[in-house]
Amino acid sequence: MATSSIIIGLVYVLALTTSVVPLAVGLEPKGESTKGRRLLVALVFAATQALMAFVGYLIGTMIDYMFGDLLPYLVFAMMLVVAVKMIVDSMKVLKAKRLYSFTSNWGFLLLGVLAGMNTLLMGICCGGFMPFGPWFFLSVAMAAFLWALLAIRVPYTPKVLRGTSFVEFSGAVFIVIIAILYLFTDLI
């Protein structure tokens, strides 16, 4: 694997999992939870991201044969769809229309599933683009774990909402760039 492919793969995985950040912010504020609970919540986000990517991969293996030579174009289109979804989500975060609260521990799982929709969609296209091969799922889990661990203790403020919106928007921009590199260059 070339160095450029590794760097692009890392950026892709980090960008794909940025949807964890706005959903994890403020879940376990400082002083209100133990270190073990924060790790558990971050692990829930990591596991759901990896599981959603794997489910997408399984769905993709069932339908990849139908696309044949058009698979690279499907991957490109799916990357653009995910990027547009991320941009729309980041605008919702910016307008404070995408804030969640819950009273049971099942809420963490639901937020993890919501954050995993991007990895599910891109998992469907793993037959055409899957950086790191089978290690892709572990890399998605590690990236989601790191994003969640960084964001979990941050309390809600207007500045934080702008910051999390910017993180998700930046992830969308990187995915668009990677989509263009995927379709029009030999770097990947």
**Domain range summary for the chain, segments of one domain joined by +:** 3-184
Confidence at residue 104, expressed as pLDDT on a 0 to 100 scale: 65
Instruction: Tell me the Cα Rg of the chain.
Output: 16
pLDDT in tens, 113-165: 888 999 999 999 888 899 998 899 999 999 999 999 998 888 878 888 889 89
Residue 24 has pLDDT above 90, yes or no: no
Cα-Cα end-to-end distance for the chain: 9
For the record, the structure tokens of 68 come out as 């044949």
Confidence at residue 123, expressed as pLDDT on a 0 to 100 scale: 93
Distance CA 178, CA 9 (A): 9
Between 171 and 100, the higher pLDDT residue:
171
Confidence at residue 103, expressed as pLDDT on a 0 to 100 scale: 59
Residue 159's nearest CA partner among 97, 94, 91 is 94
Confidence at residue 99, expressed as pLDDT on a 0 to 100 scale: 66
Give the 3-state secondary structure percentages of the chain, helix then strand then coil, rounded to 5: 75, 0, 25
122 and 79 Cβ atoms separated by less than 8 Å? yes
Residue 91 has pLDDT above 80, yes or no: yes
**DSSP H helix total and E strand total for the chain:** 8, 0
Q: Averaged over 66-93, what is the pLDDT?
A: 91
Q: How confident is the model at residue 171 (pLDDT cuts 50, 70, 90)?
A: very high
Q: Averaged over 8-35, what is the pLDDT?
A: 84
Mean predicted lDDT score pLDDT of the chain: 88
Q: How confident is the model at residue 185 (pLDDT cuts 50, 70, 90)?
A: confident
Q: Averaged over 29-50, what is the pLDDT?
A: 83
Confidence at residue 31, expressed as pLDDT on a 0 to 100 scale: 64
Between 120 and 2, the higher pLDDT residue:
120
Q: How confident is the model at residue 101 (pLDDT cuts 50, 70, 90)?
A: low
